[in-house]
């Protein structure tokens, strides 16, 4: 899926970054003002200690965490597309999503079946189980692919691991119906339980992953020209692939562990950036992170308003909106090709 021809870039990367930062600040402010009863003014929150505590302890970290999770997925999506040189690559391509699902299913089974679960499992919790499952799935993908030397083999191994681990997670939910309810929130994606600790953790990991991605931007630019060209330019492809896979696993695992399986954000964010600006990977990682954060932040805001006072799972909303955008992009590109 390439950038539709005839669609000229109207924004510079710096203007797009500033615009996304403004949207981020505005979205966090709006998210902090939306409660179960709809919109609430900041003046009421400042005059009521209980209302202010709700804003500070629940709504603000939730909005900030939604942005951080979306930013992690957007960055991971840009890196995955650069690593595999495939515009359809997304952060879950290495099996991390299915591994996280299996980890959560196993944790729910252990906690539900054994009231004397070990202290380690109790402290690990569902968040830790999801992150551990995602990391182990990526390691299994690397084992099957025999390293990162061959991109196509790595891609196929990730697909296989995702299918097998996803099937195992489904098997657990079939044999243990009591696990299905707990799995449902994770599979549909939710930011309802993101607190300050989770939000700050994701922000810290985002800064680390962003710094690494910025340092590898020249290699990704060279890799976009082909492996032979990148090697002729003296780029260290093998260690770069190892580091990129590690960053992918870290960013995706951290986001999935806190918010569940949020679909299409990591895939759609880089495409949105490419449809607005022409830039190299020197800025693509930052812009994709900002775009992903804004997408998930406003999707979470919309999910709270559509069925208020009930909430729509944010993963369902991102799947509908993200999938609709990508279908429109494909339709527009096909129309442009047939009209010439």
On the question of pLDDT at 249 being above 50, the answer is yes
Surface-to-core class of residue 176, CB atoms within 10 Å of its CB (0-12 exposed, 13-18 middle, 19+ buried)? middle
Predicted model pTM: 0.84
Between 101-115, 178-192, 272-286, 299-313, the lowest mean confidence (pLDDT) is in: 101-115
What pLDDT is attached to residue 264? 87
Q: Give the DSSP H/E element, type plus range, for residue 107.
A: helix 96-113
pLDDT top residue among 169 and 88 = 169
Band of pLDDT at residue 43, cut at 50, 70 and 90: low
What pLDDT is attached to residue 88? 80
Residue 85 neighbours by CB distance under 10 Å: 14
The CB-side HSE value for 230 (13 A sphere, CA atoms) comes to 21
Q: Whole-number mean pLDDT of the chain?
A: 80
Q: Are 260 and 184 in contact (CB under 8 A)?
A: no
What would the two tokens of residue 145 be? Answer: 């692919």
Band of pLDDT at residue 74, cut at 50, 70 and 90: very high
Q: Which has the closest alpha carbon to 294: 22, 24, 75? A: 24
Q: Read off the pLDDT of residues 138-169 as tens digits, 9 standing for 90 and up.
A: 889 988 888 767 778 888 888 899 999 989 98
Highest mean pLDDT among 17-26, 86-95, 323-332: 17-26
| Axis-axis angle for helices 177-188, 151-175 (nearest 10) | 140
Q: Are 259 and 252 in contact (CB under 8 A)?
A: no
Backbone angles phi, psi at 38, to 5 degrees: 110, -150
Query: Which CATH number is 13-339's, of 1.10.645.10, 2.40.10.10, 3.50.40.10, 1.10.3470.10?
Result: 1.10.3470.10
The radius of gyration computed from the CA coordinates of the chain, to the nearest angstrom, equals 20
What number of H helices and E strands is found in the chain? 15, 2
What pLDDT is attached to residue 112? 61
Q: Read off the pLDDT of residues 162-214 as tens digits, 9 standing for 90 and up.
A: 999 989 988 888 888 777 777 777 888 888 888 898 899 999 999 999 999 88
On the question of pLDDT at 79 being above 50, the answer is yes
């Amino acid at each position: 899926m390439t950038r539709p021809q005839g669609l000229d870039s109207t924004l510079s990367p710096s203007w797009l970054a500033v615009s996304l930062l403004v949207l981020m600040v505005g979205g966090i402010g709006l998210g902090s003002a939306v409660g179960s009863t709809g919109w609430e003014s900041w003046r009421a929150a400042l005059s009521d200690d209980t209302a202010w505590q709700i804003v500070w302890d629940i709504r603000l970290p939730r909005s900030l965490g939604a942005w951080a999770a979306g930013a992690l997925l957007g960055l991971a999506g840009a890196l995955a597309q650069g690593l595999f040189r495939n515009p359809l690559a997304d952060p879950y391509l290495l099996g991390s999503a299915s591994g996280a699902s299996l980890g959560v299913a196993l944790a729910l089974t252990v906690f539900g079946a054994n009231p004397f679960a070990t202290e380690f499992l109790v402290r690990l919790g569902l968040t830790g189980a999801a992150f551990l499952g995602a990391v182990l799935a990526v390691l299994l993908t690397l084992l099957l692919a025999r390293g990162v030397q061959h991109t196509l083999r790595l891609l196929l191994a990730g697909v296989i691991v995702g299918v097998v681990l996803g099937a195992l997670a489904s098997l657990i939910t079939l044999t243990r119906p009591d696990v299905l309810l707990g799995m449902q929130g994770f599979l549909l994606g939710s930011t309802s339980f993101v607190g300050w600790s989770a939000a700050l953790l994701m922000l810290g990991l985002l800064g680390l992953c962003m710094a690494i991605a910025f340092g590898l931007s020249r290699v990704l630019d060279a890799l976009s020209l082909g492996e032979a060209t990148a090697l002729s330019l003296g780029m260290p492809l093998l260690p770069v692939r190892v580091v990129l896979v590690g960053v992918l696993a870290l960013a995706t695992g951290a986001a999935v562990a806190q918010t569940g399986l949020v679909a299409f954000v990591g895939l759609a964010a880089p495409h949105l950036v490419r449809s607005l600006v022409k830039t190299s990977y020197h800025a693509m990682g930052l812009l994709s992170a900002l775009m992903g954060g804004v997408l998930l932040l406003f999707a979470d805001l919309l999910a709270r308003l559509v069925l208020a006072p009930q909430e729509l799972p944010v993963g369902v909303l991102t799947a509908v909106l993200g999938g609709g955008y990508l279908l429109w992009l494909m339709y527009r590109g096909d129309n442009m090709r047939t009209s010439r």
